[in-house]
Structure 1
Amino acid sequence: MNDIVTRYLETWNATDERLPELLAEHWSEDCLYVDPLAVAEGREAVAATVRAARAQFPDFVFTPVGAVDAHHQQARFQWGLGPAGEEPVIVGFDVVVVDAEQRIQDVRGFLDKVPA
């Protein structure tokens, strides 16, 4: 499931040109993304959510924090968001469930560390 997390974080770091390709390849058509700030149903809504995050934090990157814990068709992991090569400013915890084709189907996200 480490590759699923890698593809997930690639999606969040994607440029506008690469984002549709990553969503089509690695996310199911009827995917669902939920976190404290957003609910996105379907690839287009996820794309809009990713674009909004990239616009809010244009010079930040999403990186893995710690190990991935996985079983069956799901993985949980922490991620960080901050300037490349530096300590993350924001840290979150997500659970990703994949479908039978190993595409991201459902994401439930939590924020663990947010600056004041």
Structure 2
Amino acid sequence: MSTETLTRAESAVRGYLAAWNATELADRRAAIAAAFGTDARYVDPLADVTGHDGLDALIAGVHQQFPGMVFSLVGDVDAHHDVLRFRWGLGPDGAEPLVIGFDVARIDDEGRITGVQGFLDRVPGGA
């Protein structure tokens, strides 16, 4: 994998995590606009949303369900061409994640995410 591809992928993942960690509406909307293409689609076993409004509602709902929790990168980002994959965790800052997921994303020429296929590896009961 080229250094340029990895740098673009890592930057996209940082933006992705910033969007998911933004709790205030204005900050979240700005982070989503910076990280995701206008018509980006996000799909996982619990959600299927398209566009910035859909992403905003989804992320806000996760913050309601898991107040005070933060998303963090688990392991390294892997990428080739315009596709990247990475694992993330959701939990108390600096502690073992309660939720762990694995996402595959596609990015556009500007490095914004155009689509995410998410998988949930670990989810607490009742979530």
TM-score normalized by the length of structure 1: 0.96
Structure 2 matches for 1:33-72, cutoff 5 A?
33-72=42-81
| Structure 2 unmatched ranges of 5 or more | 1-8
The count of corresponding residues between Structure 1 and Structure 2 is 116
Distance 1:5 1:21 in 2: 16
| Structure 1 unmatched ranges of 5 or more | none
Matched residue type, 2:67:
P
1:108 matched to 2:117? The reply is yes
Q: State the partner residue of 1:75.
A: 84
Alignment match of 1:10 (pick from 18, 41, 46): 18
TM-score normalized by the length of structure 2: 0.88
Deviation beyond 6 Å, 4+ runs, structure 1: none
Bigger helix share: 2
Say which SS state the counterpart of residue 23 (structure 1) adopts: helix
Bigger strand share: 1
Report the Cα offset of residue 115 of structure 1. Answer: 1.9
Distance 1:4 1:25 in 2: 9
Contact 2:15–2:34 (8 Å) recurs in 1: no
